[in-house]
């Protein structure tokens, strides 16, 4: 237990960089097939639905594509952004958990998804089960671009589709050991 306290009490100040857009990155593009394999392993398609007071419908639907890695792998995310042709890179701090800093590549604009991400993923197909997530995610974004999310029936259909994404991403029971291993991998050297 003293080791855990020591990790939590670290007082390292880290200045996080401002978000970086694809246009600001001066890196070489990667082989698209490498990027597809990377997305199969580390990519995430998510759709959040929240109440929002200032929107007419009172509901906000937020689709996001993300890849998050430790900050020492930032260059690979920058090269992925250049290869796909869009996206923003953010720094994430997990000091309170005793983890190394992370960097996140994210696309949250539905127009950028439709114009850059989807053509890339349709040309170079995902090979793993994440392809199913992608196809459902793409359907949701397509509905949003057609403004179907503003109708009651459209919102209901998006909720059903989002539930499909959630089910595809759930781990079967008995996966606790792998989760623990992943948490340990993310911790700093002073951690447990």
Mean pLDDT lowest among 44-58, 100-114, 142-156: 44-58
Could you read off the pLDDT of 19-49 as tens digits, one per residue? 766 666 778 889 999 999 999 999 999 999 9
Q: At what angle do helices 74-84 and 32-42 cross, to 10 degrees?
A: 120
Q: Is residue 182 part of a domain?
A: no
Mean pLDDT lowest among 3-17, 69-83, 136-150, 161-175: 3-17
- Domain that includes residue 129, residue range: 2-172
Q: Is residue 66 part of a domain?
A: yes
Report the alpha-carbon angle 134-139-144, nearest 5. Answer: 125
Q: Is residue 70 part of a domain?
A: yes
Q: Is residue 179 part of a domain?
A: no
Q: Which range, 24-38, 43-57, 82-96, 104-118, has the best average confidence (pLDDT)?
A: 104-118
What CATH number is attached to the domain comprising 159?
A: 3.10.28.10
- Token pair, residue 21, equals 């857009």
Dihedral sign of CA atoms 182, 185, 188, 192 in order: positive
Cβ–Cβ under 8 Å, residues 137 and 63: yes
Q: Is residue 25 part of a domain?
A: yes
Report the alpha-carbon distance of residue 143 to residue 146 in Å, rounded: 5
Instruction: Provide the number of structural domains found in the chain.
Output: 1
Q: Is residue 184 part of a domain?
A: no
The continuous run of DSSP H or E covering 68 comes out as strand 59-70
Strand partners, 64: 46
- The secondary structure of residue 34, as a DSSP letter, is H
Q: Is residue 53 part of a domain?
A: yes
Q: Is residue 183 part of a domain?
A: no
């Amino acid at each position: 237990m003293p080791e855990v306290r020591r990790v939590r009490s670290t007082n390292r100040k880290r200045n996080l960089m401002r978000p970086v857009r694809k246009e600001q990155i001066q890196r070489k593009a990667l082989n698209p097939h490498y990027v597809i394999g990377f997305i199969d392993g580390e990519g995430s398609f998510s759709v959040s639905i929240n109440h929002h007071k200032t929107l007419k419908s009172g509901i906000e639907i937020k689709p996001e594509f993300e890849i998050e890695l430790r900050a020492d792998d930032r260059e690979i995310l920058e090269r992925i952004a250049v290869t796909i042709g869009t996206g923003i890179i953010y720094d994430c701090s997990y000091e309170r958990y005793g983890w190394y800093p992370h960097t996140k590549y994210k696309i949250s604009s539905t127009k950028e998804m439709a114009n850059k991400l989807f053509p890339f993923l349709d040309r170079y197909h995902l090979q793993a089960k994440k392809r199913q997530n992608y196809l459902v995610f793409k359907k949701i974004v397509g509905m949003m671009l057609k403004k179907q999310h503003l109708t009651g029936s459209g919102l209901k259909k998006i909720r059903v589709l989002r539930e499909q994404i959630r089910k595809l991403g759930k781990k079967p029971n008995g996966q606790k050991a792998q989760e623990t291993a992943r948490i340990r991998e993310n911790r700093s050297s002073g951690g447990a």
